[in-house]
Chain A
Amino acid sequence: MSRGFIESTTVGFARALTGTMLSEQTARQRGLLQALDPRVRVVGLFALVLAVTLSRKIVVVAALLAVAIAIALLSRVSLLTLAKRVWLIVLGFTGVIALPALFTTPGRTMATVAGFAVSEQGLRTASLLILRVETAVTFTTLLILCTPWAQVLKALRSLRLPKEVVMMLAMTYRYVFLLVETATQMFESRRSRTVGVLNSNEQRHLAGRTAGVLLSKSVALSNDVYLAMQSRGFRGDVQILSDFRMTSSDYLGLLAFLLVGALAVWTGR
């Protein structure tokens, strides 16, 4: 093992934090998606994800990917970011899964690679899967990159998600970062007190104990939060402010999203 449990986990934490900070930065830029009402963004991009899963033709899914790239460019999301955060990762993951389908899917043989027959159907199903996942994940990532989380939550609330659920999502998101921070500090302090190499059994013990302390802290935290909420008058009734106002360009945007989605579903049948 090149890196120990402590290092690899702290690196993972740091990566999650920088990723989120990057999103908040892009969300503040001025671009196409950022200018639209958050509800339009959420509904529009979800509709496009749905269109991606409903389309049955490679060409149509590819066209939707082109739409995604156009939206990214207009929203000032760098394609390099997308390539690093989405395309390469998805290709690595889904590619490995899709590759054997080239050989295992029965159908007309197209070529022979190292003695194994590649079928036409296999090639089609593998490229359809990869393209579909790439496109859908690009749309979701665009939403994440261009919308601060508070706005996503408000948009979900105005889409009739139960208030309690929205509130729990909001609180969870907030405390994820606190707990990541706490865990990072625990690992760093442990690291600074560790001389030599921990064997994997010791690392497992360490993981169990760290998680245990984190759990106790979480429960204590939730008690504190509960008391704080109660002292501010929380009686189970959730209030969420919603001050969104749809303008004509928002309606236009929504219409465009839905039209593209409907067109894709229609032509991709």
Chain B
Amino acid sequence: MHIPDGYLSPSTCATLYVGAAVGWYSALRRLKRVLFTRVVPLISVFAAFSFVVMMFNLPLPGGTTGHALGVTIAAIVLGPSGAILALSIAIAIQALFFGDGGISTLGANCFNMAIAGSLVAYASYRVVAAGSAITSKRRVVAAAVAGYLAVNASALLAATEFGIQPVLFHDAGGTPLYAPYPLSIAIPAMMIGHLTFAGLAEAVISAGLVAYLQAADPGLLRGTSGLALESAPTDLRPGTRSLQPLWLAIAVLMLLTPLGILAAGTAWGEWSPSELAHAAPPAAVSSAPTPAAPAGLQRLSNLWTAPFPAYAPTFVRSRGFGYLLSAMFGVGLMLALSLFVRRLLDRNRRKGYAS
């Protein structure tokens, strides 16, 4: 899932660098507040650990093998901020020193695997394991579920990034300039492999690790368990909440982005006027065999174009634009959802203290 240079257009890369930067910045800020001197070696060694775990050639049921990402166990032991940094460092080392994954796509890779992966893993682990004892079997299941979901969320993001390339970036003759497959091909192609092997590999290794830690080193699981945090031995406690307003603001902004774009239709300066003229991104692409997958996305994009038919310039109804809107809306929705889950968890925890 490490996207190499050349698959994504420069503007996609730039956008995802910005997205990743938001994650890095808030993770770094949050950790600095905790105890930075302690965090430096912990994150570094954990990054090295996930790097090594990515090299494990895991045997899977059915005789195949797969690789894990190590993002789930990082999220379970370090919490989301620590995991975001550790995984990003591991991904950067792979790109900078081992040539695995691109330089221009570093932001995209970190966004997909380190940031989205950590957040999804952390949220699903907390939800499934909520309230269970440290040594409970439910935590092992929670780790497996978290691993499976995290890897598939990352893969879905990568597939979406691939899939929007041919719609947005092609030359006058309709030749796609970057990754050539539309969403209808990119998503199934990526997801089949990840729903089966890669997701399973992460689930297996995460569950195995949590089971091992329960027996050998349960202290490492306490930090993110949501139980009696006061006695947690690690310094990396979740729960410094002052960044929540920032995230909330970002979520709201992203949910509103489609409106902003509709209002200022000319923001898409990247398209030359001639391209805009036959803008319904060109006949070539729309005549491509695009069954099944985009239906849902189209419905979503209709959701947004429908209320504003009078204001929307005609090209807004184009498929490419619809994809983009739905993507932004989707990310905003994800953010809002994760904030909601967190608030729910916090409330439960407070209730736990009270009783």
The distance from the CB of A173 to the nearest CB of chain B, in whole angstroms, is 6
Asked if A86 CB lies within 8 Å of chain B CBs, one says yes
Chain B contacts for A230, CB-based, 8 A: 37
| A216 contacts B216, C-beta separation under 8 Å | yes
Q: Which residue of A49, A126, A140, A225 contacts B45 across the interface (Cβ within 8 Å)?
A: A225
**Contact size class for A?**
35 or more
**Tally of B interface residues using CB under 8 Å:** 77
| A137 contacts B181, C-beta separation under 8 Å | no
Q: Is the interface of A mostly helix, strand, loop or mixed?
A: helix
Binds A, one of B169-177, B241-249, B309-317, B338-346: B169-177
8 Å CB interface, B81-139 against A: 85, 89-90, 92-93, 95-99, 102-104
Q: Is the interface of B mostly helix, strand, loop or mixed?
A: helix
The distance from the CB of B38 to the nearest CB of chain A, in whole angstroms, is 6
Q: Please judge, given known A-B contacts A169-B89, A222-B45, whether A207 and B205 are in contact too, CB under 8 Å.
A: yes
Q: Mark B187-214, 1 if CB is under 8 A from A, else 0.
A: 0000000000000000011011101110
Q: Mark A115-153, 1 if CB is under 8 A from B, else 0.
A: 000000110111011001101110011001000010010
Asked if B10 CB lies within 8 Å of chain A CBs, one says yes
Q: Please judge, given known A-B contacts A140-B5, A176-B52, whether A105 and B93 are in contact too, CB under 8 Å.
A: no
Most interface-central of B7, B96, B179 (chain A CB within 10 A):
B96
- Our count of residue pairs bridging A and B at CB distance below 8 angstroms stands at 265
| B6 contacts A129, C-beta separation under 8 Å | yes
8 Å CB interface, B234-266 against A: none
Task: State A4–B205 Cα separation when bound (angstroms).
Answer: 17
Closest to A203 in B: B59
| B103 contacts A49, C-beta separation under 8 Å | yes
Q: Which residue of A12, A105, A183 contacts B175 across the interface (Cβ within 8 Å)?
A: A105
Task: State A176–B46 Cα separation when bound (angstroms).
Answer: 10
Q: Mark A67-78, 1 if CB is under 8 A from B, else 0.
A: 000000000000
| A133 contacts B99, C-beta separation under 8 Å | no
Chain A contacts for B52, CB-based, 8 A: 176, 179-180, 183, 214
Asked if B159 CB lies within 8 Å of chain A CBs, one says no
Chain A contacts for B212, CB-based, 8 A: 208-209, 211-213, 215
8 Å CB interface, B39-57 against A: 40-49, 51-53, 55-57
The distance from the CB of A25 to the nearest CB of chain B, in whole angstroms, is 15
The distance from the CB of A53 to the nearest CB of chain B, in whole angstroms, is 5
Q: Which residue of B99, B178, B204, B208 contacts A137 across the interface (Cβ within 8 Å)?
A: B99
If A46-B103, A212-B216 are given as contacts, then 18 extra A-B residue pairs at C-beta distance below 8 Å, sorted by A number, are A104-B180, A105-B175, A106-B174, A107-B173, A126-B180, A132-B5, A132-B178, A140-B99, A173-B97, A200-B59, A200-B63, A208-B207, A209-B208, A211-B212, A212-B213, A215-B220, A219-B217, A226-B42
